[in-house]
Amino acid sequence: MGLTISEIRDRTTKARQLMHRSRTQHFAVGAFNIDNQETLIAICRAAQKLNAPVMVEVGETEYRALGLENVRDLVDNYRDEYGVEMFMNLDHAPTIDDCKRAIDIGYEFIHIDISMENHEASLREIIDATKEVVAYARFTGALVESEPHYFGGSSNVHEEKIDYEEIKKTFSTPESAEFFVHETGIDTFAAAIGNLHGKYPVPKKLDLELLQEIRNRLSCQISLHGGSGTPLHYFEDAARIGVSKININSDMRYAFRTTLEKALAEHPNEYAVIKLMPEVYGAVQVVIEEKIKAFGSIDRAVR
């Protein structure tokens, strides 16, 4: 069921208030990807148990399969059922049209990522597209996030080690971050400081000194993508420095799949797979709770 413009604006106002709280109280909000209902249940149960605000997000593959409107309705239904502070984020949307559609539906957070579809997109192309989404979002008050170049990795489990010499070439700089935010007017800057999408056989290393330098230059929010496989102490430090949003996907997918494989192997004659799912979303919930604790967002929810 669609939201009225008044309802949408009320929610985006509350989303902005959450981002303000995250900055003043030095915690980060977990942005957790879903591609199924069980993962959403795990997010809601973790948020309810820890009294933590959360974002539910969908990337292009997920919203093409599930439908932007369907996910909005599903999240709203579970938010009300569990009584949690929960918002929606459109994650790495590769087109302006997708962003505008999500804004119209009432997504509170919008991440426009032109370089996701075109890795060779110029800075000017990225800026122009981002500015168009920022202008369109003013009607509802949705918060817009972006970055000036392609962000590495993929939300999967990788076997290769991380080549940090290559990754460092894509690091944000305080100067480029400040320029991009000034040119686009975004609400959230997606920083690259050693974080990258996916789960790797070695832990990720974040350049916290660089993060502090970027934080000193920006007045807007900062997000960290590619949070999976990152030692938890980095999240604790990042939240203290002033990161407001941290994305988690691959760690949850890994817990989901490995637990499901185990449950299927232990119950070879059970074809009502839904009966096995509580064990699966229980394992995903453990992952989410671990992140929420590291983000410092326990007992930060406002309803």
Residues 98, 42 contacting (CB under 8 angstroms): no
pLDDT band at 197 (very low <50, low <70, confident <90, very high): confident
Give the pLDDT confidence of 56-108 residue by residue, as tens digits.
999 999 999 999 999 999 999 999 999 999 999 999 999 999 999 999 999 99
Q: Give exposure, 65-79, as e/b (b: 16+ Cβ within 10 Å).
A: ebebbebbebbbebb
302 located within any domain: no
Residue 301 lies inside a defined structural domain of this protein? no
CA gyration radius, the chain: 18
Instruction: Give, as one character, the DSSP assignment of residue 95.
Output: S
Query: Which two three-digit tokens encode residue 192?
Result: 């690259």
Q: Residue 303's pLDDT is what?
A: 82
Q: Is residue 206 assigned to a domain? A: yes
% of the chain beyond a pLDDT of 70? 97
Tens-digit pLDDT profile for residues 241-281: 999 999 999 999 999 999 999 999 999 999 999 999 999 99
Domain that holds residue 189: 5-295
Residue 169 has a pLDDT of 80
| 276 falls within a domain | yes
CB 204 within 8 A of CB 189: no
Give SS3 for 283.
helix
303 within some domain: no
Q: In terms of pTM, does the model score above 0.75?
A: yes
Give residue 120's pLDDT. 85
**Tokens 């939300």 appear where?**
155
* β-bridge pairing 86-93 and 109-112: parallel
pLDDT at 117: 81
Give the pLDDT confidence of 205-227 residue by residue, as tens digits. Answer: 899 999 999 999 999 999 999 88
Residue 211 lies in a domain: yes
Q: Which two tokens stand for residue 187?
A: 């609400």
Instruction: Report how far Cα 104 is from the mean position of its chain's Cα atoms.
Output: 20
Kindly state whether residue 35 falls inside one of the protein's structural domains. yes
Which CATH number covers residue 125? 3.20.20.70
Question: Does some domain include residue 300?
Answer: no
Q: Domain count of the chain? A: 1
